[in-house]
Amino acid sequence: MKLHLATSDNINYIQAYDKTSITIREKQYLNNVLIMPTRLEAWTATGFSTLTADDFMILTTWKPALVLLGTADKLRFPPSEVLSPLIKLGIGVEVMDRYAACRTFNILVAEGRDVAAALLLTE
């Protein structure tokens, strides 16, 4: 799905997404990503079934108010201990499928919210 937004040169928005990729700032990503309005990097998590608390440690240093966890093509909830590094710091976590996470991220960024998205492209 291609998204049309009023964008800023220094803010990350998700421009498009499909079953195998996400496009951010005209660049197509084929692997898992972590994104905030002003940060973007590859996410070393290998898939939903192998998620561990360590996969979320980088987000504890970014300290967003909210993390959107996009669980690939379908909604699945990880065990609470996987999200414990975020929860212990009072960082909110919302779990949704990747498509909903992409749309929600853009809406919250447009509102100026302090949000991060952890997006799994692989199951």
Digit-coded pLDDT (tens) for 51-85: 999 999 999 999 999 999 999 999 999 999 999 99
Tokens of 48: 């939903």
pTM assigned to the model:
0.92
Q: How many structural domains comprise the chain?
A: 1
> Is residue 70 in a domain?
yes
Kindly tell me if the per-residue pLDDT of 9 is higher than 90.
no
Range of the domain at 45: 14-120
Average pLDDT of the segment spanning 81-98:
98
Q: Is residue 6 part of a domain?
A: no
Query: Is the model's pLDDT at 8 over the cut of 80?
Result: no
pLDDT score recorded for residue 50 = 96
Predicted pLDDT at 123: 80
Residue 78 lies in a domain: yes
What pLDDT does 6 receive? 53
**Above 80 in pLDDT, residue 4?**
no
Query: For position 63, which CATH number holds?
Result: 3.40.1230.10
On whether residue 66 sits in a domain, the answer given is yes
94: DSSP letter: E
- What b/e string do you get for 74-111 counting C-beta neighbours within 10 Å, with b at 16 or more? eebebeeebbebbeeeebebebbbbbebbbbbbebbee
**pLDDT over threshold 70, residue 2:** no
Residue 7 lies in a domain: no
| Whole-number average pLDDT of the chain | 94
Q: Is residue 109 part of a domain?
A: yes
Q: Is 69 within the bounds of a domain?
A: yes
